[in-house]
Structures are given as C-alpha cells and as structure tokens.
Chains A and B, each alone.
Chain A
C-alpha cells in the first residue's frame, strides 16, 4: 500500500506538463538513436550529461529513462529492416526479423516487436515498482563489506557473462578499473597516476571514456569495415495489422520473454544480451515448428523483443535501490546521479521520493508513448535509416567532440577522447568487450571506497569480507562465476582428449 501511494505521488510528478514533455523528448530521442546504427543509449546519455547539468534532476532522469526504453524499441526497427542490430539487445531479433522483412512481412515484424515491447515494458515496470522497494529493505542490511562484495559480484558477472572469452572480459574490466584509479585519492588527498598533468587530478571523466569508446572507437571501427560490408535495407512492406494467428503465436513468447528479461536484467548479469539469447533458445525449444526458426519465425521476434525491454526495467531495480549498475547505460546513469551529488540507494528513496517515483511513473507513460510512436509512425523512423553513412558518422564525431570539449572547455579532454577512441578501436578489432571497461571505471572507485571503509571498521582485519555471511555468500557466487566456466571447459576438453585417445 505504501508503494502504491508512493507510485501515485510519482504519477503526480510525472504528469506535470513539463515532465510529460521531458518524457516525450526522451522516448523520441531514444527511438531515434535506437534506429540509427552507431549510437546507443549509453553514448546518448553520456553526451547529454554536460547539457543537463543545470536541469532539475527529476526532469533529467525522466528523460534518461525514456531514452533507455526508447532505444530498445528503436533497435528492433534497424534489426528487422537492415539486419544490423541498432543495439546489442536486438542482435537476436535480427535473425528472424530480417528474414520476415525479406519475405515482405517487415511491417508485421515491427508490430510484433512494438506490441511485445509494450507488453513486456509495462509488466516489467510494474515489477520494478514492487521489487525496488523490497531491494531497498535488503540494502538496509548492508554494511561496507557487503557493498564491496556486491560490487565484486556485479563486476564479475558483467565480465563473465558478456563476450565469449573470460580473459578478454577481465582485461577490459581491469583496464576500466585502472582508468578509475587516476586522480586524487579521496581518502588521503594523494594524487595517483596523474603523470604530472594537472587536468588529470580530477580523474578521467566518465563521459570522455564512454564517448571515446562508444562513439570514436565505434566510428573508427565502422570506417575500417565500411568498404567490406554491404547493407540491404528492406522497405516497410506488408500489413501492420497482426492476424489472429499472429496474436496467438505471439502472446506466450511475450510473457516468457518478460519473465526472462526482468530478473536477468536485475540480477547483476549484464544488460539485455543474455535474456534475448535465452528467450530465442526457449522459444525454439517450445515451438510447434522449430524448423521455421532462422527463416522468419514470429516467436523468434516476439520473445527476444519482450526480453530486451523487460531487462531494461530489470536493470533499473538494482541501480535505483542499491546504486549498482549492471549494464553500460546503467553505469552512465550512475555517473549522472553523481553529477547531481545524489547517491542511489535506500537514502535516495527517502530524500528524493519525487525523483525515484516520478521516474518510475514516467516509465509507464513513456512506454505508452513509445507504442504510439512506433506503431502508426514506424514509417517515419524508417526514413532515418536512409541518412547516408558518411554524414551520419561525420555528425556522430562532431557531437562526440562537442560533448567532450564542453565538459571543461579544455582541449586536453579531446586528446584523451582521441586516445581512448583509438584504444576502443583496438578493443573492437581484438574482440574485447567494452561494457566491462565502462562498468569498471565507474564501480572501481566506489568499490575501493567501500573496501577501505570496511577495513577501517575492522581495524585492518581483512577477514571481515569472509566472516559476514552476506558478504561471504556474494563473494562465493562471484568466484564460482569466474571459476565455473573455466573448470567446465577444462573438463570438456579433457573428455574430448580422452575420447580421441580411446
């Protein structure tokens, strides 16, 4: 009941004309960047940080939430019509969605994706409404040792689960952690790793790193691959209305996708890729005609699209209630909280209820707006795909440098942006995932703080992390996540060798 009252208050905040406008702006921008290849929600929120500095935090977060939701809707359009996933969460959608477009059923595929996103988004936002306050109660039991253990768990899951090479994920994570070390040590005032450059005393800005990796690195990579790749855009064909059979085949995958997406997004497991892959596999297993998969199966669009939208709401639960980002976009949103001097967690629910609940309420509204934006207006978004690539990437670079420069009006930021961009390019070429680096950069300094606080309380005794039951459990889970796959792979390889020898 308490929660419902809080939510009602949130709606009162979200329904003021100005906040409605911010929500509408957020979902529109979100859909646009979701449709455009080369830019995603993490980059967009990062670029908006300097501009929203003077904005009321509630308005800013209503907009950011809209962008995050909108990007998942828009990503499916690109996946279906262009076969280039606009977002990493739409990789799976591209498989059968693009096949549907090839068969002239593109409009139907878009409708299935949009309605599925709406169903999943609404259910998952409802789940967020009730899960977030419950997580807050849990967070009250946490001391520094538990927070540190939780952050270690989040860092390892983001790393272990993304990409297919654990070592590469760890390399990316530790690179991010190393970047996070730069600057003045908050507890002692000691300057660390600044190389004598005064601009580095404040640390390397999250915005510069995120924009460098996501905009500059991506653009360099796309420039390098542009000559070798061909794009075929399919026109929006077919009826937008779903037949009775389409509905019958879609509703169960939508619900199952939601069921997978929300908890996996919320349990620190790294964003929207995993639930979409799982949803695809589940649907294939359950389908009456599994042979259709890969050839334009409706279930293969409906399930993953529901899963990626639900996972976004799931990601917001630990972000708001524990201050724990589980995806790159959530990590940038945490940086946004820091910019406003706010610390997500139990305190935020007490001190800024209008922000937290206003944002959650705005997600219900944004979701409805997105259905309207994406169903009847799908054709408008498709036009964005026609922007010639030279101008699209030229524009991305102009706005990326604009965002980095205006942080401090300093060319040094542009130099760092370029360096990080070149590193991001190298990471893309060498197949090193980028998200662990961003999450590491933001969580690293927070983890160090909790780590030292815990040790200060225990007077330097490092066993605190192991004697607190909650902390111990979290650390064991983290260790299993790193060691488990390695051991399993070893065992599989040994079995293979034995089989070969026999």
Chain B
C-alpha cells in the first residue's frame, strides 16, 4: 500500500499537483459532506471542456474539445465537437457512444471497471457521497471555492484501468478532471462553465 501511495504522490508531483497530506485515510472531511450537499442541489449543468491525452502508444498527445451536459440524477452527456464529433451519453446503467453515425451501447454494470470510473464523475456531480465511498478511497482538501477531490478505486481490478482521478473545482463548478490510467496513460480535462 505504502509503495502505491508513494507512487501516486510521485505522479501527482509529476503532474504538478499539490498532494494532500494523508492519502491512506479515507474518512470524508466535513467540507466534502458540505460540498456534496451543494452538488446534490444542482439539477442540471452545462460546461465546455478541452482535453489532452498522453498515451504511451503515441509519440505526441491528442487533444479534443466539446461540451458537457449533466442532468440530475444520473444523466451525463459528453459532446466532443473537435477533432471528430462524438457523443457519449450515460443514462442510468446505459453507456452509449455515438461515432460516425454508429452507436455502441454498453451496460455500465457489465463493465464494472469502466462503469466505476464514470460513476466517479457522475456521483460527484450528483453529490452522491455513498456511491463514491463505495467505489473509492477519497481524499478531499481545500476550501469551498478551490477544492480538490482525489478518488482511488477500492477494487484492484478497477485500479488496473484507472489508478486515480483528481477532480478540482470552485463551489459546484468542476474546473479540472485529471485521470491517471492503470498503464500510466493520463488525461487532463479543463472545464469552463456555460455553453459555447
């Protein structure tokens, strides 16, 4: 455990993030409960995003951008506009990805590793602390207008896919989501509130 923790800390340091003091501790701070309650009151939200992906398979990073739409309690849509239009919709247990006129549908619970990752984002937006705690070890730090939440999957298999998710925000606006995948690939998404 200690090795993994120090690895994550090293990674976070590598990403230029501030590492919270005690990662092994998982009890949520009062601030998190309060934040979750505020998120819980949000019924819908729209934001723009830009994303950069650093993949080991590729010599250079990939970037894309688009719009995020959330509707309480469990609907999340990621509308990528550039470079290729793609729509990812999560509604309840169904994950649908539409690309080039073709839609691929998955059941989230049938792919718990992927499902867990999406659940992390969605549960945060929904203010669903119970679900987050069920799936992740959680770390919360900062103040209500500049907070950071670190999610680490409890399930070892899921950690092979997603090592950790770092969510930063200002009140009920998520400003940045960074994902470190099991193989070291990472994604950095910056989010600005409002529609384009």
Q: Do A and B bind each other?
A: no
